Amino acid sequence: MALLNSDCPDLKLVARGKVRDLYEVDDNSLLFVATDRISAFDVIMDNAIPGKGKILTQVSLFWFDLLKDVLPNHLITADFEKMPEKVQKYKNQLEGRSILVKKMRVLPIEAIVRGYITGSGWAEYKKKGTICDIELPKGLVESQKLPEVLFTPSTKAEIGDHDENIHPSKMVEILGDKALADKITQSAIALYTKASEYAAQRGIIIADTKFEFGLDNQGNLVLVDEVLTPDSSRFWPASKYQPGQTQESFDKQFLRNYLESIGFDKKSSIKLPDEVVNNTLEKYKEAYALLVGKEVSL
């Protein structure tokens, strides 16, 4: 059974994002609930992908553990038995798709790291020879590995609006703190590098990904939100990688391709056919199994 919206009246709902519902548990902690909603082109679809939120949660937990030596994260627990009583009463709805996290001051930047030229980066490069106004060598082809990993931040948009790619220097202006901007840049590249090297051993190319960061009470940089999921990353099967064209993928690209094929207006929510729902879910399951080395438990 798909969960489109969580309903926890005894918890204070702080926000509903494209995928996650966020509740305040107490003064120091929040509950992140990964629903089965799916969005593409910043539009939330009418129907959900059953079990997707549980897969996203398990993928993030895997990466939190693998990357904790690179940067601390906001996780308190994902063990439902260790959650506060007022959360446990919603066990049937929330178990397997929720994490209890520390409250942070979340920074207003999407930290995007690119190892390959694709998506909006490829579109900009074809027009101007740049990504986020960063000059690149001439003659690159679609999906080619970039000469070096690129950090290309974007602004965070409200739901329904589009994130805006910005030059890294603009991030310094937004944050008002060059040292913090440098730390975000270095941390994002270090996280991507470790993750992409691990994934390569499992037959997956991480073409690009998006991280979010917050600051704890001591002002330390902390990794927050989801991490390296098929929602926030482009995962390509290494065995089928062929530069010069669009790649097969384990992520939402299947859904994006379907929407492009029907002339989707990138504004209006629509109901997805069963075939698209089922195929998208299979891609998520396959990515999890390859990365973690076992079948996902739903």
Residue 256 has pLDDT above 90, yes or no: no
Are 137 and 246 members of one domain? yes
In angstroms, the CA 109 to CA 161 distance is 15
Phi, psi (degrees; rounded to nearest 5) at 86: -70, -15
CATH number of the structural domain spanning residue 155: 3.30.470.20
Phi, psi (degrees; rounded to nearest 5) at 163: -65, 150
Are 142 and 31 members of one domain? no
Full residue range of the structural domain in which residue 58 is found? 12-103
Are residues 32 and 98 in contact, defined by beta-carbon separation less than 8 angstroms?
yes
**How much is the average pLDDT of 163-174?**
90
Residue 160 has pLDDT above 60, yes or no: no
In angstroms, the CA 254 to CA 213 distance is 28
Q: Is residue 275 part of a domain?
A: no
Average pLDDT of the chain, as a whole number: 94
Which of 54, 72, 103 delimits the end of a domain? 103
Helix (H) or strand (E) holding 205: strand 204-215
The model's pTM is 0.93
Alpha carbon dihedral 238, 48, 229, 225, in 10-degree steps, equals 170
The total number of structural domains in the chain stands at 2
pLDDT digits (tens, 9 = 90+) for 25-52: 999 999 999 999 999 888 999 999 999 9
